[in-house]
Structure 1
Amino acid sequence: MDALERIGFDRLGLVVTPAGTATPAVSAPLLAEFAHVGVRFVNPEAITDGLAGPHRELIAHVRAERGEAGDYAPLFRGFPDRLPEFDDAVFRFLVARVRMIGSDDTPDAWREALDFSRMGWWPASSIPQDTARAEADRRAQALLPKDGRVEWITVRLVGAAELEARLREWMRDCFASAASLREDVQSDLGVLVKLLGVGDLEMGDVRFRENRVLLFELLWALDRKLLPSTGATPDDLLRLFAKLTGGDPSLTAPVGYPRLSRADRRVVVNTLEASDRLGDVFRRRGLWLAIDRGLHVGEFRAPRVRETFARLRDSRHDRGSFPSRFERLLAADYAAAVRLAAAEAPGLLGRGLRRLAAVATGQQQRAVLVEALTGAAERIPLRVLFAAGAQLADNGRTYPRVVFGKDGSALPILRRPGHLAVPEEFRKELLGALDAAVDLRIAAKGGWYGETVHVEPGLDRLLLPDQLRATAQGLVQVERGSRLPIGQAEVVRLFVHWREAEVTSDLDLSCIALDASFGIAGQVSWTNLADGMMTHSGDLTSAEEGAEEFLDIDLAKAARAGRERGWRYLVPVVFRYCGPTFEALPEAYTGWMLRDDASSKDRVFDPATVVNAFALTGLKRCAVPMLLDLETHEILYVDVYLNGQPRPRVEQEGHDVATLVSAVVGRHHTKTSVAALALRHARARGAALVDDPGRATITFGTSADCTYDALHPEKLLADLL
């Protein structure tokens, strides 16, 4: 399975089958093997015998993507149907401590002291891994039947030429995306640029800053002589230097200057000479003066650059960073600050629109803001206009909120409802200006007259993705706060797997029950293994051979508990109790399955039932992958990490988890949905809406057969924003 085939499968749901014939005696077992891991084909008739053999690597890849790292086994052989109803962790450890009197403080002694199964009490828990027993349990698991449910990955069989053509198209869509791309997507783009080149890319279509930086970084590594022909601006070069030296491409801090050969400096100078934005060096005079000392522009035949840098050195005016200039001016002259933003940083005007509207005093200042917004709208990114509209529509009603850092870290914003609220009449006026601007921008993309559009039900639950950079590298790409239905499954089985290296590690899987106001209403964890609705498989405190913990949620019982106890949300949390960080572990995965049954008679881990799985990363102590909404029967993607205290557990961190989760749940009030984007395009571009996807020429949905697949949003982000 080469790199192109792997990327084609992951990003486009395509599988290459070599040219040739199909023999039923070969194709039938092949299709069965794929079905065993939850893969089915929309065109099984296209399969050929040539796929036999290469299919093994693809199936192994699918297993890994669905979280299967070796054979999984629970700590308790009776999980989940033979666990006791009573389990008090504090009492268990007190008794174990008594039994340890006179014994050496060793893992084996603790394992023996905590094992009360011979007394008919609860099973052993919170013990080091017994590697011999773990191996035996894994062999026993392999003999058990699978669960009857399958969460299908639907793919298409294609030839090698079609795969390459589709990958070139996908690469163009990614670079043209109007929002950030997930880190693993960026990595795949690097592979494609190396293998396929950039001849198919239109540099003018690469609009989003991060994607431009990525492209220029790739070109610098592969063939930097192409850089002068790309239209790169002085700011693009500064961001490239920041990436090459480990700095911040946002240019809010000084930029390091990489060590360049004379040939490299010639490339940089020629790129500046070819740029129609050369005058932008004056906007960041201090940064370019620092770089000028090592660039030696006088050595090269570049008259525009030499003349511009001579004026740059003679100028005594350093305008400084725009944000600082804007804030100083805003405090002194509101109208001048707003006009400055409209002229020099229209994106900042859009992102700060609600704040600027809230602090505007009097009709004159409000008129200035509306005028500035109307005049700058065509230069404000469309995704920023949508975000500004959603923020104004909410008007400060939804708090707490959350912002995500570039590393995936989350920071809750705690304010009283009504913070920065805009007076109603002024709010309506601004929303009218935004709506008009959005419609004009969309209409400019071309008419859809004569087209019919179908929008799949449920897309109003998926948020428009614009911060995918640091989202988990799972099977789907959705914005945090998006919801997907559970379907008809009886049980949600959560899992975490990890393997330690030289240092003992302990990951703990827990689940917190919250009421509708996000108050803590219950929990299941290593301190409380079962509550009648949720069942924990037990706690291992080491993972020499790779360890797993599972937690089952009986959906019918949990729904009844929701009605009887006031439960609304179930929130899984993975705590790093001790040992290396998630990032430092050789293996660390979490995810969830949807199953028809939960019984010790069935295999505890079945890759075909996995809905999503992803690696645990980062330096934090707690990971919250998702939550289960018992009222709507949906899974909501949370995907956040928290610091937490040393040796964290539910009793310590529950409140912080609840606060952060409430902010993620509330994002649907402050962000645009995929359905709203689709409907807006259909209306503004003159298309007709239809209820039947079979009658539609343009479809929005959650499968690869749709024109725009919301779960793989690169084309959507390129075409519609």
Structure 2
Amino acid sequence: MDTLESLIIARRLRVPIDAPAGSTPGWGEVAARQLDAALLSVGFKCSAALLARLAELPGETVVDLGVRVLASVRRLAGDHVQHNAYFVDFPKNVPDTMEFWVGLLREALLDPVAATRVQQFPVFNLLALPGYGSYQHSYADLLAAHAELIPLAGDRVTVLKLGGGLESEARELYFSLAGSEVPLSAEDLAALRTLAAFCADEPERIPVRENRAIVNEVRLAAGRPLLVDTVTDVLRLACGCSDGDVTLAEPTRFRSFRRAERRALLQALDAVATPAKLGDVPRYREQWKRLGERLHPHEYPHLPRAAQVFEVARGVRPARSFDSRVEAALSEGRTGDAVELLGKAPGALLRRLDHLLRTGTSASAVLDAAEKAAVGASGRVLLGLREHLQNRLAPAAGRVFANRHGRAWATADARSPIEEDIVSRAAAILDEEIVRRLPDLGQLIVDPEVLDVALPLSGKAVAPGLGMLPRGSLSAVDGELLRFFVYWRQAERRTDYDLSALMLDASYGNPEHISWTSYRNGFAEYSGDLTDASDGASEFVNIRLAQATRSIIIPQVNIYSGEAFDEAAEAFFGFMSRDAEQEGRPFEPRTVRMKSDLRGAGRVALPLVFLRGDDGAWRAKWLHLYLKGHPGFNQVEGNRVTSSLLVRSIVERDHLRVRYLADLLAKKGSQGEHITYIGLQAPADLPEGARVYTPGTLHELIPA
């Protein structure tokens, strides 16, 4: 239950309460006020309704609940660990880089034992210098060296709302995740599995197949009919039941299935294994072979179509995939045949629209086919293509490709151009279909600050956290000081992460960096390099924005050695902003604007970029990207060109934002009287029954 409660607080910023009212007036109200004060110290507070409800409870109940709530929000803000810094006075008294290294080297050479470790002829191993890479003071020493933070009105205050009972809150979150029109992150898939085991019912529609696989796990365990319509649905389910990857990106080691499970899986497979769908099998040939060894299809001769799946996997039975037929038609110049084939798969046709328009065939015929396909394609595909088209006419610095793990690469754009009138007609087709699908939201109220938030067309690369926004979103950066941070704790091996910042001018040139090889410049300071995180380690970069001589600041987390982001016991990144006079510790939770776990297969993380506009104001643009990097010794100096091209391609791309949907909704009009609010945070004065969409629920706005 505590896991569910923490999940709801973190994902919904709502506190579920089931407890009845108490019989000791006053004590509950005192405990509620104490909880509110404790929450404020980490940048949270209770709404008026939540305070009133807590005041009705017995004081002991409020205290117990408060302990759990405070632990949840502290973890959300990254305040559940102690953030020490290598330089105790950071950001003050950060030494010159060369002066620092020379001082350590001088001390080492005066010590005969240390000198033998450092002097490894013909080079000096500077990382072996005594005292380098580990804290030279305690966390208590750090606290004593810093004045208290001066609270200001600009500090972040995130309001916790009053929730319903635990069961109703869990059901609402479950329906939101399971019914999502966009793929979920790995963390949300794990949350969905927890909720599916708790909730008795399920949404009528589960469009994303990974979500469907998790719901099917519960159905299989309960002996209920499975929700499958392709052979791959059965493979995903088998992977999920074996604690494997339902996205099928990684191979799964299948467990032994009970006879009842084998029968249910093979029956579901037999029901959907039509000749047309057998073409999906070769894509996951090896996984099908391994699954066949566990399911023993030869024991079920009355399910012949299920057996054919494994025959295709072994190469005994031929099966041509849909994509191979399309590719063959295109390579032979039979574009008309390819368009006719793709007409049977509307989503596939729209994903290939740009290619089809560049094949030299009749653009009018292709657009006519696209107009028919738009009716049957998912809303996410329509929006994704619409974003693509609005960037098609502008010259791009490069084309960016990112996989489901956020691993990104960029290449030059070598596509031939498409005429403007063709792009305009295609965009109009999509706009018309999207408007038709949009629900009646009644009286729409949109916070201007949310207009530049990108629509979440996929959540795979975005790890949930505090203040997280989809890739391509723009958000204002307030305050005079910008400070980003990384914390990591190694699991088994000595692990060294390096927080760095690449700084460029407005034309993406004139590079400068802050890192363990360059501790400070005229407007930035680095907190010092830590090379071991057995007990956890934190690094910071402090930027004085008004004095910055560069307009583009790209934070990076480089893995210099040791465990990958998803191998470490814990790893997260975030940023704070504060005014210069606030003082305070290097890490102050109430100034944290964003915090999220680091994960992904890359060895270099690029969470976001800070940009100074023509008006002098700073904004953050969200990247959620990872570079492959090297197996070890990654440094900001070594990936400058790649980082610059990737960031420029993302920054200059015109992402589809909330503004686009708001304009379409205004164009469509409304007949309803109910109120819908879209914003970064729900205001306190909304009438009862108003529907609220915040960044955590923006995926619910994506039309079906």
Shift of 1:334: 0.4
Q: Secondary structure at the match of 2:39?
A: helix
Preserved contact between residue 134 and residue 530 of structure 2 (Cα < 8 Å): no
Preserved contact between residue 468 and residue 477 of structure 1 (Cα < 8 Å): no
- 5+ residue gaps, structure 1, are 112-123, 562-566, 689-694
- 5+ residue gaps, structure 2, are 120-127, 684-689
Preserved contact between residue 461 and residue 624 of structure 2 (Cα < 8 Å): no
Indicate the residue corresponding to 2:649 in structure 1: 663
Taking a change above 3 Å as real, the CA distance of residues 134 and 500 of structure 1, as seen in their structure-2 partners, is: farther
Query: How high is the TM-score relative to the length of structure 1?
Result: 0.82
Task: Using the aligned pairs only, state the percent identity.
Answer: 26
Write out per-residue CA displacement over residues 267-315 of structure 1, whole angstroms, 9 at most, x where no aligned residue. Answer: 124435666x85654444768996789767786696xx55897899899
Partner of residue 585 from structure 2, selected from 584, 603, 608: 603
Q: Secondary structure at the match of 1:46?
A: helix
Indicate the residue corresponding to 1:468 in structure 2: 459
Indicate the residue corresponding to 1:703 in structure 2: 681
Taking a change above 3 Å as real, the CA distance of residues 358 and 245 of structure 1, as seen in their structure-2 partners, is: farther
Cα distance in 1, alignment partners of residues 445 and 159 from structure 2: 21
Preserved contact between residue 270 and residue 305 of structure 2 (Cα < 8 Å): no
Cα distance in 1, alignment partners of residues 481 and 327 from structure 2: 53
Q: Secondary structure at the match of 2:64?
A: coil
Number of equivalences: 665
What amino acid sits opposite 1:388 in the alignment? L
Indicate the residue corresponding to 1:378 in structure 2: 375
Taking a change above 3 Å as real, the CA distance of residues 622 and 105 of structure 1, as seen in their structure-2 partners, is: farther
Taking a change above 3 Å as real, the CA distance of residues 337 and 59 of structure 1, as seen in their structure-2 partners, is: same
Partner of residue 426 from structure 1, selected from 422, 426, 431: 422
The reply to whether residue 29 of structure 1 matches residue 12 of structure 2 is: no
Please list, as runs of the form range in 1=range in 2, the aligned pairs for 1:390-469 lying within 5 A after superposition.
390-395=387-392, 397=394, 398-415=396-413, 419-442=415-438, 445=439, 447=440, 451-469=442-460
Q: Secondary structure at the match of 1:340?
A: helix
Indicate the residue corresponding to 2:54 in structure 1: 47
Cα distance in 1, alignment partners of residues 251 and 67 from structure 2: 50
The reply to whether residue 77 of structure 1 matches residue 88 of structure 2 is: yes
Cα distance in 2, alignment partners of residues 372 and 213 from structure 1: 32
Shift of 1:93: 3.7
Preserved contact between residue 241 and residue 256 of structure 1 (Cα < 8 Å): no
Cα distance in 2, alignment partners of residues 371 and 505 from structure 1: 56
Indicate the residue corresponding to 2:384 in structure 1: 387
Taking a change above 3 Å as real, the CA distance of residues 98 and 63 of structure 1, as seen in their structure-2 partners, is: same
Preserved contact between residue 213 and residue 240 of structure 1 (Cα < 8 Å): yes
Please list, as runs of the form range in 1=range in 2, the aligned pairs for 1:95-114 lying within 5 A after superposition.
96-97=104-105, 100-101=108-109, 103-104=111-112, 106=114
Preserved contact between residue 708 and residue 716 of structure 1 (Cα < 8 Å): no
Indicate the residue corresponding to 2:5 in structure 1: 5
Cα distance in 1, alignment partners of residues 489 and 252 from structure 2: 39
Partner of residue 596 from structure 2, selected from 594, 598, 614: 614
Cα distance in 2, alignment partners of residues 508 and 648 from structure 1: 9
Partner of residue 72 from structure 2, selected from 40, 43, 61: 61
Preserved contact between residue 622 and residue 644 of structure 1 (Cα < 8 Å): yes
Cα distance in 1, alignment partners of residues 368 and 634 from structure 2: 52
Q: Secondary structure at the match of 2:137?
A: helix
Preserved contact between residue 403 and residue 410 of structure 1 (Cα < 8 Å): yes
Indicate the residue corresponding to 1:691 in structure 2: none
The reply to whether residue 649 of structure 1 matches residue 654 of structure 2 is: no
Cα distance in 2, alignment partners of residues 251 and 4 from structure 1: 27
Preserved contact between residue 400 and residue 413 of structure 1 (Cα < 8 Å): yes
Shift of 1:233: 4.1
Shift of 1:516: 1.9
Cα distance in 2, alignment partners of residues 313 and 544 from structure 1: 50
Indicate the residue corresponding to 1:637 in structure 2: 622
When structure 1 is superposed on structure 2, of 327-336 and 616-625 the one drifting more is: 616-625
Write out per-residue CA displacement over residues 362-405 of structure 1, whole angstroms, 9 at most, x where no aligned residue. Answer: xxx22321221122222111121122122122215323232222
What amino acid sits opposite 1:73 in the alignment? N
Taking a change above 3 Å as real, the CA distance of residues 246 and 171 of structure 1, as seen in their structure-2 partners, is: closer
Indicate the residue corresponding to 2:341 in structure 1: 340
Cα distance in 1, alignment partners of residues 12 and 218 from structure 2: 22
Preserved contact between residue 38 and residue 153 of structure 1 (Cα < 8 Å): yes
Cα distance in 2, alignment partners of residues 526 and 60 from structure 1: 33
Identify which of structures 1 and 2 has the higher relative contact order when contacts are C-alpha pairs closer than 8 Å and 6+ apart: 1
Shift of 1:499: 3.2
Cα distance in 1, alignment partners of residues 412 and 581 from structure 2: 40
When structure 1 is superposed on structure 2, of 539-548 and 31-40 the one drifting more is: 539-548
Shift of 1:612: 1.5
Partner of residue 550 from structure 1, selected from 521, 540, 546: 540
Shift of 1:63: 1.5
Cα distance in 2, alignment partners of residues 252 and 28 from structure 1: 48
Q: Secondary structure at the match of 1:493?
A: strand
Root-mean-square deviation over aligned CA pairs: 3.6
Taking a change above 3 Å as real, the CA distance of residues 5 and 307 of structure 1, as seen in their structure-2 partners, is: closer
Cα distance in 2, alignment partners of residues 545 and 297 from structure 1: 51
Preserved contact between residue 127 and residue 541 of structure 1 (Cα < 8 Å): no
The reply to whether residue 591 of structure 1 matches residue 589 of structure 2 is: no
What amino acid sits opposite 1:407 in the alignment? H
Shift of 1:676: 0.9
Cα distance in 2, alignment partners of residues 410 and 627 from structure 1: 15
Indicate the residue corresponding to 2:224 in structure 1: 226
Indicate the residue corresponding to 1:120 in structure 2: none
The reply to whether residue 674 of structure 1 matches residue 674 of structure 2 is: no
Please list, as runs of the form range in 1=range in 2, the aligned pairs for 1:186-201 lying within 5 A after superposition.
186-197=189-200, 199-201=201-203
